[in-house]
Chains A and B, each alone.
Chain A
């Protein structure tokens, strides 16, 4: 027993030395890394892999044939695919511009103190918290050409009823309105955060310097909010690019396939036609576009950071 005690002490000292700091670091990170590999790296690599195969998940027995980049070339040579990109581009541009014009203006109005401001602000945040598919159906009924509330208002103003969802040009704007309704609150939220981050002294200095409200907004408020607004812009851009739920609920992609966005088409290829290989290639193309957009904004943000 007497000899056992020093022996156990010796091991107690030896154990921490046996494991280096690096190993401990690695051990702590291992669970997170494992999850990351399982949830991100593996799906991504298998996505790349499947994109080079002629393969359908409905018919695995038929096996898969390696066809190189043929999925990509076939997709990109199809005019209907390019039309989807053009349509998605129009949608993204319209909805993001509307969201930012309205969102920044409303956020600026919320800077002023008035009775019931906080309550109104909370209410204004609500649309963003709804489920997209629910928002889609709500607006689908509101835009119904026969008995929808929108056309009711249109007739009240003395115009003829508009076929909102049956004509591609109109449907684009109908979904833009629905999407902007849902996501403008997000822009309001971030713009408000940005505006509140500007020190009072700065605003007071601008006022004393003789700046009119418009001059102050364009020369002080906006430039100083730019980093946060850029991030909001990027998030909205990516989200709008991926939009498919609203189109699914409001137009079903129709008439024909005229209001299918890229993401909508991707869903169709993957889960209606079950061309798994082609869908994978399509997903890779979308990913490249989104990463490209993100890189542009990251570059812009770091430039902003360097200026300060």
Chain B
């Protein structure tokens, strides 16, 4: 297992920079998730680490070894692809044995490792079947076994769970996480699904347009997004956003200018920015029914309340936008007329979407 470092890595296809000068290091044994919308460069970054893509500039290190331009087969990485990558003409056991045979390992050693994988992934039933006869979930399990069996320096996962149905995906996530911890594999996982990222990662690397927007623990990304994009991309249900005017004693939301009174240290931060206008964001879970005389509350218009499992949500209109808040599980039928914004949880953004720090 290796520490992986990317140093000013860029990949250009023609004039398009798919990966644009990124530098980051993944520690040994860390579970990294590269997250972002499609076309953000996460898969290209992964393919660079694998050696399937050549960096235009910059370097890639596994521990002390520079591997930037080495061919994939000498990098000792393993990869699981989104769709078919098992060899269709080989039985599952021969698929697992493939990387070992390619390396010229002995028969006894191969048998021992197949037995090991069979135990870990519970492959007993499918060991002698061909990939074409297996459901997608079992196929990915076998693909994962083939990747892990060679004890790679880095395990690369390219949306391996996206083609699997929801229920089995949850199970696979759990298994993947256990396995990764047990074997201490440095793992780089690519996904566009923020829930998957949050549930798997030690550290999430959020990317956009070939650049890293933010890298941190799932908690950090959720609680402390660096900009509006990060705030919007992470969290489900997603953050409520609205244009705001920064006033003497708070903010005025939307065209209607709904006034919100803010604590002094927030006002100070806003004054320091020198801005008159910007945007604010607040996550639905920080938007709760307001009590009488609340100065940090917004009116509820055209409300719809609904439950998702044990959680109750309230969707309502604020200045032409749909906002979402939460209701206590034991709330009665009558809906609140105003919803309270937890000031400590408000994100302030410049009109360009950069987060304004509040000390």
Which residues of A approach B to under 8 Å, CB–CB?
A: 199, 201-202, 204-212, 215, 219-220, 223-224, 226, 307-308
* B84/A211 in contact, CB under 8 A: no
Among B79, B101, B103, contact of A208 (Cβ-Cβ < 8 Å): B79
Tell whether, in the assembled complex, residue B130 and residue A208 are in contact, meaning their CB atoms are under 8 Å apart. Answer: no
Check A209 against B150 for contact (C-beta < 8 Å). Answer: yes
- 27 intermolecular pairs with C-beta atoms under 8 Å apart: A201-B84, A202-B87, A204-B81, A205-B86, A206-B98, A206-B102, A207-B51, A208-B51, A208-B52, A208-B73, A208-B77, A208-B78, A208-B79, A209-B78, A209-B99, A209-B150, A210-B76, A211-B73, A211-B99, A211-B102, A212-B102, A219-B87, A219-B98, A224-B89, A307-B130, A308-B89, A308-B132
A53 to B150, CA, bound (A): 71
Residue in A201, A210, A212 whose beta carbon sits within 8 Å of that of B85 in the complex:
A201
Max count, chain B CB within 10 A of own CB: residue among A205, A219, A308: A205
Question: Does B83 interact with chain A (Cβ within 8 Å)?
Answer: yes
A208 and B50: CB pair below 8 A?
yes
B88 part of interface (Cβ distance < 8 Å) = yes
Q: A209-B98, A212-B102 given as contacts; is B89 within 8 A of A223 (CB)?
A: yes
Q: How many A-B residue pairs have CB under 8 A?
A: 75
B83 touches A201 (CB 8 A): yes
Find residues 82-125 in chain B having any chain A CB closer than 8 Å to their own CB. Answer: 83-89, 98-99, 101-103
- Quick one: closest B residue to A207, CB to CB? B72
Q: A209-B146, A209-B150 are in contact. Are A204 and B52 (CB under 8 A)?
A: yes
Distance of A32 from chain B, by nearest CB (Å) = 35
Which residues does chain B contribute within 8 Å of A204, judged by CB atoms?
A: 50, 52, 72, 79, 81, 85
- Are A210 and B150 neighbours in the complex by a CB distance under 8 Å? yes
CA distance A208 to B51 in the complex (A): 8
Q: Which residues of B contact A212 (CB under 8 A)?
A: 73, 102
Q: How far apart are the CA atoms of A212 and B78 in the complex, in Å?
A: 15
Provide the main secondary structure of the chain B interface: loop
Interface residues of B, Cβ cutoff 8 Å to A:
50-52, 71-79, 81, 83-89, 98-99, 101-103, 130, 132, 146, 150
Please list the 7 inter-chain residue pairs (A to B) with the smallest Cβ-Cβ separation, ordered nearest first. A209-B99, A205-B85, A211-B102, A207-B72, A210-B102, A223-B89, A210-B73
Chain A residue numbers with a CB within 8 Å of B130 are: 307-308
Cβ contacts under 8 Å, B79 to chain A: 204-205, 208
Quick check: A208 and B72 within 8 Å, CB to CB? yes
Q: In the complex, what distance in Å separates the CA atom of A204 from the CA atom of B51?
A: 10
Give the docked Cα–Cα distance between A209 and B101 (Å): 10
Which residues in A have their C-beta under 8 angstroms from that of B51? 207-208
Task: Tell me, rounded to whole Å, the shortest Cβ–Cβ distance linking B297 to chain A.
Answer: 54
Q: Which residues of B contact A223 (CB under 8 A)?
A: 89
Q: 8 more A-B contacts (CB under 8 A) besides A204-B72, A208-B75, A209-B73?
A: A199-B84, A202-B85, A207-B71, A208-B79, A209-B146, A220-B87, A226-B89, A307-B130
Instruction: For residue B206, give the distance in angstroms from its CB to the closest CB of chain A.
Output: 26
Residues of B within 8 A of A307 (CB): 89, 130
How far, in angstroms, from A223 to B90 measured CA to CA in the complex?
9
Tell me which of B50, B51, B73 has the highest count of chain A C-beta atoms within 10 A of its own C-beta: B73
Residues of chain A within 8 A (CB-CB) of B72 are 204, 207-208
Bound state CA distance, A199 and B131, in angstroms?
15
The distance in angstroms between the C-alpha atoms of A220 and B94, with both chains bound, is: 12
Q: In the complex, what residues of B have CB within 8 A of residue A210's CB?
A: 73-74, 76, 99, 102-103, 150
| CA distance in complex: A294, B254 (Å) | 78
Closest to B94 in A: A219
Known contacts: A209-B146, A224-B89. The answer to whether A202 contacts B84 by CB under 8 A is: yes
Alpha-carbon separation in the docked complex, A201 to B84 (Å): 7
State how many angstroms separate the Cβ of B177 from the closest Cβ of chain A: 23
